[in-house]
Amino acid sequence: MDRLILFRHAKAERAAPSGDDHDRSLTERGREDARLMGQVLADAGVKPDLALVSDAQRTRQTWTEAARAFDGVALRLEGRLYNAGTQALRAAIEEVEDQAGTVVLVGHNPGIHSLAVELLVEGAAAPSTIEKLRSKFPTATAAVFTVDAAGRTAYDGLYLAKDHGGGGEE
């Protein structure tokens, strides 16, 4: 793996009709933001080879919409990514690091946000970059990192839906 994208799901409904958080769907704005962010990443030349996606409804829908901007991305739905913490997210990434050049992980806060901040700190990113990311990681946000041969990450960009005409919110 030479690039990692951490992508928070887009805006979802507050509650699912079933009452199960796992079943929450994207709102219409969420669908639009997810499509937008797929196109933003594609336009920036950030194309994943493999998508690791939480099996929650909102993350699956986020990837379905974003994936319209890409061809030939392998998909793995992972139940263990649902509301996972940083250790579980890291374990899932490590399992596939030799299987793809660019991996996108579509997940949930707070885990996805915490992992992005951890990777910035570990990669000795500028304090202003760390602070910017630490303060918020809205829906439909993607943090991109390059990964060197030793597995060390370096900050390569932050993409927020609202910066590209979309919504995105805490």
> Mind listing the pLDDT tens digit for each residue in 49-107?
999 999 999 999 999 999 999 999 999 999 999 999 999 999 999 999 999 999 999 99
State how many domains the chain has: 1
pLDDT at 16 exceeding the cut of 70: yes
- The verdict on residue 148 lying in a domain is yes
- The verdict on residue 26 lying in a domain is yes
Round the CA-based radius of gyration of the chain to a whole number and report it.
Answer: 15
- The verdict on residue 169 lying in a domain is no
pLDDT at 163 exceeding the cut of 70: yes
pLDDT at 139: 96
pLDDT at 166: 86
Q: What is the domain-level CATH number for residue 13?
A: 3.40.50.1240
- The verdict on residue 35 lying in a domain is yes
Rounded CA-CA distance 130/14 in Å is 29
- The verdict on residue 99 lying in a domain is yes
> Mind listing the pLDDT tens digit for each residue in 134-160?
989 999 999 999 999 998 999 999 999
Rounded CA-CA distance 116/6 in Å is 7
Rounded CA-CA distance 27/38 in Å is 17
Encoded tokens for 41: 């990443």
Closest CA to 66 of 139, 170, 145, 156: 139
pLDDT at 34 exceeding the cut of 90: yes
- The verdict on residue 103 lying in a domain is yes
Closest CA to 50 of 77, 28, 71, 75: 75
Rounded CA-CA distance 165/162 in Å is 5
* pTM, entire model: 0.96
Q: Which alpha helices (H) appear in 45-167, and where do they start and end?
A: 57-66, 86-96, 111-122, 127-135
Which domain does 47 fall in, by range?
3-164
- The verdict on residue 93 lying in a domain is yes
pLDDT at 132: 87
- The verdict on residue 118 lying in a domain is yes
pLDDT at 165: 87
pLDDT at 52: 98
